Every structure is written in C-alpha cells, then in structure tokens.
C-alpha cells in the first residue's frame, strides 16, 4: 500500500523534498552575492542557486547550508529523472519514448552534478530538460489539454528569457528569471505528471505509425 503510494507520487515527493531542503539551505546561507559581497543571507533576487553549493559563501564565511542544498539537488535530479521516464511510458511513439527515457536517466546524473565541482558539466541538464519539455510540448499540441499547451509554451519561454538575460549580462534580471523558470518548470512537471495520460499523446503517435506503414 505504502509502496504503491510512493511509486504513484514519487515525482511530487522528490520535488517537494527538494524545495524544502533548498529553502533550508537558503536560510542558512551566510551572505554575499555577485553584486554585493557584504550582503547578508541569501537574496532570492540577488543570488544564484549555485551559490548554495559552495563550501564558502561569497562573503568568505563557511556555508552551513551547503549540505542541505546538495541533498535538495539530489531529490531534484531524481524527481526530474523519474518524470521523463514516466512521460516516456505515456507516448506510444517508440522512438520518442526512448528519447525521453534517455533524457530521464541522464538528468538524474547531470542535474546532480550542478551541486558538485563539475557544475559546468551539470549545466548540460538544462539543455536536456529543455529538449525533453519541447518534445512533450510538440506531442501535447495535438491533444485537448489546451491549458497545458499554453503552460508548456510559457514555461519554455521562461528558460529562453533567462538565457537571454544572462547572455546579455543583465545579472539583476538573471537572478529573478532563474527562480521563475525553476518554479514554472516544477509546476509544469507536476501538472504533466498528474493531468496527462496515454490518450493525450495517442493522436500524434498514431499518425506517426500510419506514415511508417
């Protein structure tokens, strides 16, 4: 009974645990940001999440929130990995189901790497997540889940908005956009996990099979 409940809600459990642990990490972060090394605490509009994974805060103090942040990232990586694996089971197209399953497995590894000294390699997970969400969005566009279509597109735009702000050097906006795309992505993952089924992806998958035959 308990095992069945955990399996059914594994993605939500992982993401909820991730949020709780990251909030604790933020509360324990001593201070310092890229814009002000003397700032106190973690500023949700002044710091990147990556600051929480460092042994020392930007202000030079030991970072007691690091272990909480690493644990939070572990749950986050498993949650996203399981999500894409679950989504692969809803898509009848074997090729694209395989792609989503592969993304899920890789994300469990690469998302966690963001919390380690291999952070720059772990950033690949953002590209993988975008590819996975884009794939799901394409299939979903043929479904009747109209509100989810707009949610998917809006979420993808928040990712692109962050990349644009960061690439152009707008740090103030980048800090905020990072939180927006992370939150919107997590909410979208939960929505897709609970409000979609195989029937929502059958139409496009069925057309693909017809073309191959």
Distance of alpha carbon 144 from alpha carbon 213, whole angstroms: 26
The residue count for the chain: 213
The pLDDT score that the predictor gives to residue 205 is 47
pLDDT band of 213, cuts 50, 70, 90: very low
pLDDT score of 126:
95
Instruction: Kindly report whether the global pTM for this prediction surpasses the value 0.85.
Output: yes
pLDDT in tens, 63-88: 999 999 999 999 999 999 999 999 99
CB 174 within 8 A of CB 158: no
Query: How many structural domains are present in the chain?
Result: 1
pLDDT tens profile 136-149: 999 998 888 899 99
CB atoms within 10 A of CB 72: 25
The rounded mean pLDDT for the chain is 92
Q: Give me the domain span that covers residue 115.
A: 2-212
What mean pLDDT comes out for the span 187-207? 81
């Amino acid at each position: 009974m308990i095992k069945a409940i955990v399996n059914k809600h594994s993605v939500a459990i992982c993401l909820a645990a991730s949020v709780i642990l990251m909030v604790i990490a933020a509360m324990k972060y001593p201070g310092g940001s890229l814009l002000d090394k003397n700032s106190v605490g973690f500023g949700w509009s002044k710091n990147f999440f990556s600051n929480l994974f460092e042994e020392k805060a930007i202000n030079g103090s030991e970072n007691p929130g690091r272990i909480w942040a690493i644990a939070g990232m572990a749950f986050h990586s498993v949650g996203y990995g399981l999500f894409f694996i679950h989504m692969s089971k809803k898509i009848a197209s074997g090729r694209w189901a395989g792609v989503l399953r592969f993304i899920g497995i890789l994300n469990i590894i690469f998302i966690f790497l963001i919390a380690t000294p291999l952070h720059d390699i772990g950033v690949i997970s953002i590209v993988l997540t975008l590819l996975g969400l884009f794939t799901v969005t394409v299939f979903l566009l043929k479904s009747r889940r109209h509100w989810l279509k707009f949610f998917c597109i809006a979420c993808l735009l928040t990712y692109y908005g962050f990349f644009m702000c960061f690439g152009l050097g707008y740090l103030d906006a980048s800090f905020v956009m990072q939180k927006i795309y992370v939150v919107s992505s997590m909410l979208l993952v939960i929505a897709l996990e609970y409000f979609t089924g195989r029937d929502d992806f059958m139409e496009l998958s069925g057309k693909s099979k017809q073309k191959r035959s």
